[in-house]
Amino acid sequence: MAQARPRIEWMDLVKGTTVIVIVLSHAIVLQEPVAGGSSVQHAWALISTILEPMRMCLFFMVSGMLATAAITKPWNMVRRRTWGMGYLYVLWSAIFFAVVYLYAPLPFLDELRMFVRNLLVAGNGYWYLYALIVYFVLARLTRRWPIWILLSVAVVLNLMKEPLLSLYREHLAYDTGSMIIKVLINLVFFLIGLHFKELLTRITGYATWPRISALIAVVVAIGVWRFNTRWSWEQTFLPASLIFIVLAVMLASKLIAFAGPRHFGARIGTQTLPIFVVQFPFLLALSQVFEDHPSSITTTPWFLIAFPIAFTAFNVVFALWLHRVTLPNVGRYLFEVPGWIAGESRKQPVAVQR
């Protein structure tokens, strides 16, 4: 029997940490309407701004690294990354649509048309799954091209973030909430992971605590500057993201020497899909609670300090619990691709996330 490829433990730690930061950042945004411009929310917003360049860039970088073995396989052997990812995208978008309809019921046909339209233009929080399909298919179709062609296009798209956002608002918005600009500007990070996996791995050999400390100081300084410089908010943060990539690789490669971070990566980093997809129905429900039933408690400093942490912890625990209890039954298809979609004949499907 063919042996499974050995796991790269620092990748699990990077991916697990990144999904935690993503959920935390969404919780910070969620409480903004009830925070009233408090100093606590100001501090949370600063933390979120510092971490913003790392969130999706690391997620897509690791996804690209995990796709390296599949990029040269025949189409019928990569259905999990095409039809399978599309299945998960449509499934969870439909679940989110049902929650939206529960809280804001409009004429069903109007809601259904909006659902289909948003599905086509990545008009919900599941745009990450949408992007993975686009990136993989694009990289697969251009795999015989010189690397620099597609990479150059991806870099230009990222550097043009501000004009792309302006163009979107002027001509393409149509009240869809489309995340298509995010899909365009994050392509570069998927390609970095896909084509420079060996280079990223070699970076671990240069990891030292003084270098890690210096990189932390740099990204914090950039984040503080961005937070206090309004005109920079829609500018590309590609340089900061590249520094975060180097920092994350170095730091994770050091931390996996300790049992705690290693176990965290093995547990959380291998189950990012449930954690990522489960958060959005909760975010919508809580946003309606904050809007319809405001309370003096939600404006207290202790609530504002604790809520992002508590929501993130609850989402992680609930998602992992839901994944575990559905694994032995048909509910596993919330997080796994059915064999008939993946083109597999074996009875037990394999999880999408490594």
pLDDT above 50 (res 352): no
Nearest in space to 7 (alpha carbons), one of 194, 265, 191, 200? 265
Cα gap 13→249, rounded to integer Å: 9
Whether 34 contacts 281, CB under 8 Å: no
**77-92, pLDDT tens digit by residue?**
999 999 999 999 999 9
15: confidence class by pLDDT, cuts 50, 70, 90: very high
What are the residue boundaries of the structural domains of the chain, listed by start?
9-342
Looking at the chain, how many residues does it have? 354
**Residue found under tokens 């390609």:** 191
15 closest CA partner among 192, 189, 272: 272
CB atoms within 10 A of CB 187: 23
CA 313/CA 275 separation, integer angstroms? 10
Task: Give per-residue pLDDT as tens, 328-342.
Answer: 999 999 999 998 998
> Whole-angstrom Cα distance, residue 299 to residue 301?
6
pTM as predicted: 0.92
Structure tokens at 304: 């504002």
